[in-house]
Amino acid sequence: MQFFVSALKKEGIEEVKSALYNTVVEEGFNLESTIVTNARHYESLIRTNEDLQKVIDGIDTGLSGDFVAMDIRQALHHLGTITGEISTDELLGNIFANFCIGK
């Protein structure tokens, strides 16, 4: 859903109010769901999800662990843009040591 709103001109405010009301009151609000309010974070999460799907597909098709690791690194990179820099080598070492991916 996209809305074009101008607080200065007082345009689009009723549409936003109506959409919020419909989402929370009429459709029911799920307290267990996550709401992402930052467009940059949303894009990073979408890209992370795409890369993680590549990881799953690679594991399912027996792709080499090196290629799976590249997709894991890419997913971690996208998450790192939200949370800050993380050590991919340490995390990947733990994954490969404990889950036997690519052996």
Q: Are residues 92 and 45 in the same domain?
A: yes
Q: Are residues 44 and 77 in the same domain?
A: yes
Beta strand spans in the chain (E): none
Does the pTM exceed 0.75?
no
Give the chain's domain count: 2
Query: Mean pLDDT throughout 15-25?
Result: 82
Query: In terms of domains, do 67 and 83 share one?
Result: yes
Residue 22 shares a structural domain with residue 49:
no
Please check whether residues 3 and 52 belong to one and the same domain.
Answer: no
pLDDT tens per residue across span 56-79: 999 999 988 889 899 998 998 888
Containing domain of residue 51, as a range?
Answer: 39-99
Q: Within this chain, do residues 19 and 61 fall inside the same structural domain, yes or no?
A: no
83 and 63 part of one domain: yes
Contact criterion met (CB below 8 Å) for 88 and 73 = yes
**Mean pLDDT score across all residues of the chain:** 80
Question: What pLDDT score does 57 carry?
Answer: 94
For the cut 90, the answer to whether the pLDDT of residue 46 exceeds it is yes
